[in-house]
Amino acid sequence: MTLLNAEVWDRKFYSDGWQDSAHDYPVIEPATGNALGTVGLATPKDVNHAAARAAEAQRSWAAASPQQRAAVLRRAGELFTAHAAEIEDWLVREAGSTRAKAAAETQLAVGECFECATLPTHPQGEVLTSEEARWSLARRRPAGVVSVIAPFNFPLVLGLRSVAPALALGNAVLLKPDPRTAVSGGVVIARIFEEAGLPAGVLHLLPGDGSVGQAVVEAPEVRVISFTGSTPVGRAIGEQAGRLLKRAHLELGGNNALVVLPGADVRKAASAGAFGSYMHQGQICMTTGRHIVHESLVEEYTAVLAAKAKALPVGDPAREEVALGPIIDRRQLERVHGIVTASVTAGATLAAGGEMDGAGYRATVLTGLTTDMPAWREEIFGPVAPVIGFSTLEEAARIVNDCEYGLSVGILGDVGTAMKLADRIDSGKVHINEQTVNDEPNAPFGGVKASGTGSRFGGAAANIEAFTETQWVTVRPDIADYPF
């Protein structure tokens, strides 16, 4: 069976089945500019209809037995496994992923479904003490309708990591993927759960522009918004949600630091640094955006990193073996190049790269930076590795923390020294003797400061907190006596 037969989804969105759309959007292969198909776009009116239908369907889905909901999630995981090759091909062609990245993303999706299949039978509350002669309970109930807004870079897993736990815990979901990756980040998820036996009306796929994004936030039936994307858009959604008294879980940008301690193995450190900066062309919120290297190693580290960068081929991952695929679109490609050239103009030195290569960008190493240069201060979202030196642990901690973001930090070298540094830095994640790009379905994921509102993904505790409400319940053996 072909999961993604275009006859099913071409020019359609998913809401109580596949619906013809009034507007559509071309699916473009970023490496070539070729059209791969056409997705249907929803309108704000479609969103309002979907939200009402989702609220209706959610009641029955929440009332389904935990075993029934778990079975759908397990079946979804099995379907991701069965259709892995087809899904990976779409991730390569639509999202510009290398084969290795596409395979890793698909396996994360499998793990996400199996991990979330345990949520329906996980403890859903606690027994409280009470001064009264009664039982006192705090139980978790489904939030209701959840809106999920997902980005283009890891379109499958960054949508699924909210969709799967929300569904497992008895919610209905409105999913708005980035239109640029609406197949791998939307159609795939809708088709998997359709085939897995999810009841009609519980999941709605609503690709669209900013007006659709606003509608999935403002629909009265929506109680929780789960957004992954840029910090400026996240701020706007958070403001909207606050005004509407809705919860917003925001996983935003990052300018993540990799600290190389004195005595570290330089070749291994540079290998970790290259992976952290160049994996998926640097288009990852966890990408290593700042290399902070002890002064005793910085010259050698930069030389080894530059040699690795120069050896990494750039091209079309659907047709050749490459390490770096295309940047998602021309606008982002020009933005990356603009940040690099502005930093060079300001005095930075190119040790490698700094050039467009067709639809891609050469792996780049920058040295001679000051901390006020754009390549150091900004989230680039491209394959750029700025390197700066430090002398003391206190200076390293200060440089790491001198950033508006706080998502992920890697520390390479002596573990004891790394532990002391970890205690001094502000970050949602710290990885000792690993680079900054790490994710597992059972691990909490989230950042601090401008990187978002904390860990709201990964693991039972974070997922239950994110997608349920707490209800206090008391029970007495008889009606109490009151003084009125």
Residues involved in catalysis: 251, 285
- In degrees and rounded to multiples of 5, residue 130 shows phi and psi of -150, 145
Q: Which of 24, 45, 44 is nearest to 35 (CA)?
A: 24
As given in the structure block, the two tokens for residue 17 are: 């089945």
Which neighbouring-strand residues pair with 475?
135
Q: How far apart are alpha carbons 298 and 334 in whole angstroms?
A: 29
Distance CA 305, CA 190 (A): 41
**Cα–Cα distance between 128 and 473 in angstroms, integer?**
10
- Helices 155-168/66-82 angle, 10° precision: 160
Residue environment code for 65-89, b if the CB has 16+ CB neighbours within 10 A, otherwise e: ebeebbbbbbbbbbbbeebbeebbb
181, 96 contact by CB (below 8 A): no
Closest CA to 259 of 423, 446, 434: 434
Q: Which run of H or of E encompasses 305?
A: helix 298-310
CB 204 within 8 A of CB 187: no
